[in-house]
Amino acid sequence: MQRSLILVMVASVVLFGCGSESAKPAAESEKKAAEPAVPEEMQDAAKALLGSEAQVLVFGDLAKTGKTQVLVANVVPNTPKSVVAGTVVTRAVVAEKEEDGKWVELMRADEHLKNAKGFLGLTPLVAVTGWKLQSEQSPEKGLTIYFTPIKAGTNERTLPIAVAWNPAAKRYQSMDLSYQHFLGEAAALENPRSMLR
């Protein structure tokens, strides 16, 4: 009787071990199948915009204008842990595909946040070396990107800067801290202290 009990226990351990191993790859393959593949033309656009290390983060009708757009970034491979969720990037670009097939840059995040009209509102005066990037998509408003500047060697928390498509201005702009109103651009970044002199 003890021998048959031991055989049953050994068989259940073997079956349990086999079952958990085969479940992992199935779950991973289902996850990969759920993620849409990035079309080659968008990967090519990412490389043209930010170099061979660029990654496509989001693509499609991001601004709800009927035009194809892409959000690409240079992602930091080993993202440091932080209290702020998101992906750490050194540069990011939102670009739109024109009718002739060329990609036009609409908004850029590198040392500062800017579009074709200038520096976006709330952009830090001091150059930023990296951004914590988060995004969300709304069926009505489209893509909103949240940029949180990373300050090296500090645990200081800074508020994210929201950037979204402004249908009235027909460009990406930053929003005020209530995320209700769009802010204008500045042609140049000025230090408030230098304006007081």
Mean pLDDT of the chain: 82
Full domain range(s) for residue 62:
40-194
Query: Could you give the number of structural domains in the chain?
Result: 2
| pLDDT of the residue at 160 | 94
Same domain as 129, residue 171 = yes
| pLDDT of the residue at 5 | 42
Same domain as 47, residue 24 = no
Same domain as 91, residue 3 = no
As a whole number, mean pLDDT of residues 163-178 equals 96
As a whole number, mean pLDDT of residues 65-74 equals 97
Is pLDDT of 79 > 70? no
Same domain as 154, residue 60 = yes
Same domain as 94, residue 13 = no
Same domain as 71, residue 119 = yes
Same domain as 147, residue 84 = yes
Q: Which residue has the higher pLDDT, 83 or 137?
A: 137
**Burial state string for 77-99 with b = 16 or more CB within 10 A and e = fewer than 16:** eeeeeeeeebbbbbbbbbbbbee
As a whole number, mean pLDDT of residues 38-63 equals 95
Same domain as 188, residue 97 = yes
Same domain as 188, residue 127 = yes
Q: How confident is the model at residue 104 (pLDDT cuts 50, 70, 90)?
A: very high
Same domain as 31, residue 45 = no
As a whole number, mean pLDDT of residues 176-197 equals 77
Q: pTM higher than 0.85 for the full model?
A: no
CA distance 8 to 130: 57
Same domain as 30, residue 91 = no
| pLDDT of the residue at 189 | 83
Q: Which amino acid is at 104?
A: V
Same domain as 5, residue 76 = no
